[in-house]
Structures are given as structure tokens and as C-alpha cells.
Structure 1
Amino acid sequence: MAKPSTNQLRYLERGLPQPGGKLPLFDEFGQEIDIRTIRACIKAGWAEPWFANPLKPDWLVCRLTDNGRDVLANIEASA
């Protein structure tokens, strides 16, 4: 199983406490999450598109998958 990069890990971890595993559009400093990070997490199966935002159709609203939760749990267990 692939291991997330530091940026991917930060992105995925922020979905853990959110209802439904909703992943953020912005980081803790208010900067938009890099779309390459989001797409890489989707490609790896750690995140999935959740719904389209009608006000901002270019924003990719995603949620954490079970696979993503497993990757985070495995990283935490090995730390």
C-alpha cells in the first residue's frame, strides 16, 4: 500500500474529526488545498468526491474513504 506524502497526510487527517469525513477545501491558514494533493488522494483511493458545489463548481468537495482511514490508522500505529 502506498504511503501518503506529508501534504496528503495533513489533508487526510483533517477529515477524521469531521462529520462524514468531509475533507477541507482550505488549510489552517486559509489557503486553498492544492488540487494536485486532492487528485492524488482520490487516485490512491484515500478520498472520494462527495458532492458538487453549485456556487463554486471548480471546487472539489471530498470525503475520507475507509481506505483513507485505514492508511491513517496504519501510520499512527507504526509511529
Structure 2
Amino acid sequence: MPHRRISHQSLISRIATLRRRHAKIDARIDDEQRRPMPDIARLKRLKQERLGLKDAIAITRAIADRHNPDSARTG
């Protein structure tokens, strides 16, 4: 399979998208935890999804840094 060229800007955009999704999951976790009887299974699923997004952000950031090492880190 040939290597696919990905622009640095598309990686930065991907990180921003992942961060927005992460923030939405955080809000859903907060909402669930504020309920009088939180759904533990839902919290577990949301927290796993949030962790997956955190990992995806870290991986994408590492690729972006390798792709353009002269740029500043993206947060």
C-alpha cells in the first residue's frame, strides 16, 4: 500500500475535532455524575470513549510533530 501524504494542517484540524469530541464526552460524564442515581455502565462506556479520544489526540499530535518538527506543539 503506498504511503498517503497528510498535510500538517489536516493533522491540526483532526486534533481540534478530537478535542471537541473529548469536551462533549466530558460534559456528558459530568451530567451523568450529577444525576441522583448515575448509570454506572454508561459512565464506564463514556470514560472508555474519552480515554480512546485522549489516546487518539496524543497519537495524532505525535504524527503532527514528526510531520512538522519546527512547529510549536498544539497544546
TM-score by length of 2: 0.28
- Which has the larger share of strand? 1
Relative contact order (C-alpha < 8 Å, sep 6+): which is higher?
A: 2
- Which has the larger share of helix? 2
TM-score by length of 1: 0.27
Q: Which has the larger radius of gyration?
A: 2
